[in-house]
Amino acid sequence: MRVVIVEDNAVLAEGLNLLLRTSGFEVAATTGDAAAFLAAVEEHRPDVAVADVRLPPGFRDEGIQAALKARTVVPGLPVLVFSQYVEQVYARDLLSDGKGGVGYLLKDRVARVEEFLDAVRRVAAGGTAIDPEVVAQLLVRRDTPLSRLTEREREVLELMAQGLGNSELAERLYVTERAVHKHIGNIFAKLGLDPADSGHRRVRAVLAYLQG
């Protein structure tokens, strides 16, 4: 599985490089700015990209804008944003564009190495891995489909955004898998997702949730 990394902190970039290589990934390129990242994506056509948000020269939102552009270079490119910050405007665009696997993890909230590696694999496979704190910040003061969900349904959807399966959801919430299945069905209905699109409704539910 080929990975392209964009991270301007040299120590962290080297750490990610080493971690991914020793975990069986092929790191095709490690870059430090948006232009180099986009060039590497075009050259290597990776299976997944790992991107920081704040990159030179402005250290604002260059990384996440580059991630959006990368999806035009390689349509459907899975992207995992790995940052200390939640970027409000472009993050919502990235997480809701529906063009491929997507994730957004906060560096300070990843407690285990395996948690990060699992997120990379999940995103590369077309899934989602979104920190609930990111969801909370993106949804603040917005009128979203969240208002149509019950408190339990919101909780289920937030856990779905983290990539948990039905059995994991049941275990986390101390309910049966049948109850989880019912909650998910209600979520799909309230978000207006077509039952004919059964293969993608889970991912689309998270994306619709983020779109508001």
Mean pLDDT in consecutive groups of 10 residues from the start of the chain, 212 residues: 96 96 97 96 97 89 92 94 86 80 92 93 93 76 64 86 87 90 87 68 74 58
What is the reported pTM?
A: 0.69
Would you call 79 helix, strand, or coil by DSSP?
A: strand
pLDDT for the residue 141: 45
pLDDT for the residue 6: 97
pLDDT for the residue 171: 92
Order of strands across the sheet with 102-106?
Answer: 26-31, 2-6, 48-51, 79-83, 102-106, 128-130
Would you call 165 helix, strand, or coil by DSSP?
A: coil
pLDDT for the residue 12: 94
Q: Phi and psi of 106, rounded to 5°?
A: -95, 130
DSSP characters over 105-163: EEGGG---HHHHHHHHHHHHTT-EEE-HHHHHHHHTT---GGGGS-HHHHHHHHHHHTT
pLDDT for the residue 74: 94
Q: What is the β-pairing status of strands 2-6 and 26-31?
A: parallel
73 shares its domain with 150: no
pLDDT for the residue 95: 81
150 shares its domain with 198: yes
List the structure tokens of 186.
């209600």
Number of other CB atoms surrounding residue 12 within 10 Å = 14
Q: Phi and psi of 153, rounded to 5°?
A: -65, -35
Tell me how far apart the terminal alpha carbons of the chain are, to the nearest angstrom. 33
7 shares its domain with 104: yes
Domain that holds residue 158: 142-212
Total domains in the fold of the chain:
2
pLDDT for the residue 68: 92
Cis peptide bond upstream of 56, omega within 30: no
Rounded Cα distance between 100 and 32, Å, is: 24
80 shares its domain with 172: no
39 shares its domain with 103: yes
pLDDT for the residue 18: 96
3 shares its domain with 71: yes
